[in-house]
Structure 1
């Protein structure tokens, strides 16, 4: 594989905060996740670049998809790069220049690793193409309700969570069993949906200035965070204790998102950008580093930051702890009939998705119309 220094240089250019979190991972996971994240950022560039015509963008998506499954020849990927508009950030331009090396690296990883990344990134690409066409139909990218927000977050972010969960299971089959792998993947989706919704709230003013309207109702979107945050907490505390680097990687992302909520709210109300102070972030990360194998500590910190951020998860955690101690929670599974399953299987998002979730999981992720 390419050196971790190569990947870290690009990560530092396109996402400093996530680059730091990724640096907590250990080999080989660090290389796999770094490569996957940068491939997704290349895909983001296809999505976000200021294309003059939809058909040009869709052609770039199609060639990207082909690079996932076949080693691209240098002249083909060079021509593909030249078709991008000039008005893209410098870090993304540099990433595109090295995209051939990154795709070459993808085709050199173990076949099981490559299969997961190909399957998941192709699903993300299909979702982004759907939203590019939706933007064309609506005249702008505007999400109309919570179901649409959850659907959007599922494709642009939740897929990353499933990728992480499945890669970890390759390394830890004895700790993530066949019986628990499904709930583990679902919780991973909640984990990354939570992070993506934080980003939507944080970037609302900037996105709307640029013609992207993801937040149909700020209060409803924030209220929906509780379900995703709880799933994220379950995902984190399910991780094997000896996977210290992976736990720290996930915990830093989750708790930084929680800690940033008051600053995100302040930025929106004041119509000016405020961010969590650097010293506060460093103190949080050091606290996590010292206590990452202590789920009781993590629970207390999770409750504290959730409360400060204005989302209520205490009752959910209490119920979960009771169930672990033998008390009945009742049925947690969403029970739907055959007709509903058939409708879900015919939905556009189920047709585009190629992963391990079941049709009823789309209910649990709030993606189904009239289920919120």
Structure 2
């Protein structure tokens, strides 16, 4: 015999509230999992009561009544990127705690893909958007007449007209400059594309300013355009080595491109930490476990996600507070541990 999973006729939220000994609004928040305003004990009791009575909330009807879906839309450039996965995990943490559902989609930072995703989110009546795929001079996506759906930029800086929850990328780039300058490096390559992504632009600004302040004209810094994936780092590093004498150190704009760069360096007889210094960014979990552990700049990306969700929910509920920038920190490992004076420099073929 087939089980009947339909909600028993006549069981209402008011019935659940009465049976659990709470008021209707508390029962509603408990069923949404709003741990900010309802204790864990009460949530457990209300949910157990609802299950016992066979109550299932009609979310569509609730959204129509309240004008809120309790959903947040999240736009990321790629859901397979480790930093974006950590960012979304933080968004999900905070959204769940406040009784919201976070939904993510990837856009490859392309205007058409972004607007298609935004239109889909708006069609499902999301209460707000978190945008983590912004490019320099790219406007945030249109959200309909009057821009009634609030938007928060996260991880990547958005335009001044909207709140942005970001790390202090300038400080992160400068930390790399201080580390490599202290190791005695004067001939440096940066792998990244400052023309497109605001995050990268600011990281490279901080790096170049730090090198200029610390070393003046005694240092050479070449920026080589590179994408974010392993193959991008490999291709850009191989191109750089083919165009010039090998540098003493390389700063890659993220850890994936640093891993690709390490492969290209090894093919040219340069071992990170022995034949050259190498630093990445984002401190991906794999960085510490590579054959030569990778020095990298660590950002609490999950906390960025939490801040982004808190900021957006604050806008939705009219309790918004100004987000604070998160300070990155350099994690030195073997890939950049050897001072430049002690590096062995085999000739580049």
TM-score tier by shorter-chain length is: under 0.3
Q: Which has the higher helix share?
A: 1
TM-score normalised to structure 2 length: 0.25
Pick the structure with greater CA Rg: 2
Which protein is richer in strand relative to its size? 2
TM-score, normalised relative to structure 1:
0.24
